[in-house]
Each structure stands twice: as C-alpha cells, then as structure tokens.
Amino acid sequence: MSESVVSPPADAVGRVSTAPGFFVCFEGGDGAGKSTQVRLLTQALESDGRDVLVTRQPGGTELGTAIRQLVLHGNHVSPRAEALLFAADKAHHVDELIRPALAAGQIVITDRYTDSSIAYQGAGRDLGADEIRVLQRWAVSGVLPDLTVVLDVTPQLGRARRGEQPDRLEAEADAFHEAVRQGFVDLAAREPDRYLVIDAGRPTDQIHAIVRARVERALAVAR
C-alpha cells in the first residue's frame, strides 16, 4: 500500500529574511502603551544615528488609512470582512513601505502587524487563530519581524487607559479583550526566541529599558 503524502501547512515555509534591514513590531491589547514605547525606541535609535522608519497598522499608507477609518470608525463590518480588510492593508503595506525600507537597510518599527489580526480576528472574533495566521502569512509574503515586543495588558488596565471615545474594537467587552490577550500570549509561546513579552503595567521607563537592551542585542547579532 502506498504511503499518503501530507502537505505542510501554508505557513510552514521559513520566514523571509529582513536583511539588510531590521524589523521590530510592538503588539498588545488596546491601552498597552505601544505608541509610547514605539516613540521612545525610535528616539533612542535615532539618537544613535540609526535610520528608522516608523509606521502603524492599519494605516501607514493612503490605502491603509482608508481601511483604518472604515474598520475602526465606520459602521458594522462582519468578522470575516474585517479579517480580509486587515489582510489587504498588510499586503499593500509590505509591498509599498516595509519591504523597500528593509531592502534599503533601515530599521522598521511598526505599531501592530500580523499578530494583531491573529489575536483580534482569530481569537477575539473566534474565526480561528490558525486560519487567520495562514491568511496573514500569505498577505505579507512571509515577511515577519526580527523581534516582536508584546506588551501584556489586562482588560481592566487597558480599559482604564483608553480614551472616552473608543473605536469599534476598543469598545468590545472585557471577555473579547481577554481572548485577544491570550491570543498574543499563545503566539509568543510558539516562537519564544522571536518574542519579548513584558507586563504592560510596569513603569514606562522600565519597559523602555528592557526593550532597548533586547533590540541592541538583536542588532549586534544581526550585524
């Protein structure tokens, strides 16, 4: 009897190298403090004379900005449509902005990337983390960060930090945000060498010091 052949999952192919650039992503639930840490790391790297490109997702391009407005601030969007719109944003973002910057040797820092879709749509919307993971890997053609920093925030702390006019995702119930939080934790557990998980409740300067030290070590190895 002949042996059956089992095809590997669509995302089993090794991730695309980001060399000669370096790719850092900040992830975490709403209210985790990602924007603050992106700003602090950018300032630190630029003060050292490094060439840094800062971006965010959704957004960063004209198309991405339109998608951001539609998905986060528009009327109801079905969960599957939401997942596909976020994937479209990332596909365009990588082709137009991230891949060229990495090819030019820049350090790219992004506020959110593929893991947000896996956590929010896969876990939070219960569409299936593995299914969204495959979709996202396809959308970005395997271009993944060299380092992903997850700022682990509880739903309660995140709610306390969010503004009085939350977007569509921020306004979801704590159960949704707890599922999202667990989604990020699960992703980090799969590839611990590529992730840095930090308690978002720690003081801002402590978080920055931990992040900067890890980034500098990674950059030294990448040289």
Contact 88, 65 (CB under 8 A): no
Give the C-alpha separation, 29 to 119, whole Å: 9
pLDDT of residue 5: 34
55 C-beta neighbours (distance < 10 Å), count = 19
CA 189 distance to own-chain centroid: 15
- The region of weakest confidence among 3-12, 25-34, 203-212 is 3-12
Please name the residue that has the structure tokens 């030290």. 213
Question: Confidence band (pLDDT; 50, 70, 90) for 15?
Answer: confident
CA 146, CA 193: separation in Å to the nearest integer?
Answer: 10
* Contact criterion met (CB below 8 Å) for 152 and 197: yes
Q: Which domains does the chain have, with CATH numbers?
A: 22-222 (3.40.50.300)
How far is the C-alpha of 166 from the C-alpha of 164, rounded, in Å?
A: 6
* pLDDT tens-digit map of 130-187: 999 999 999 999 999 999 999 999 999 988 887 777 777 888 889 999 999 999 999 9
Q: Which of 171, 142, 168 is nearest to 155 (CA)?
A: 171
CA 48 to chain centre: 25
| 8-12, 36-40, 50-54: least confident range | 8-12
Give residue 14's pLDDT.
Answer: 62
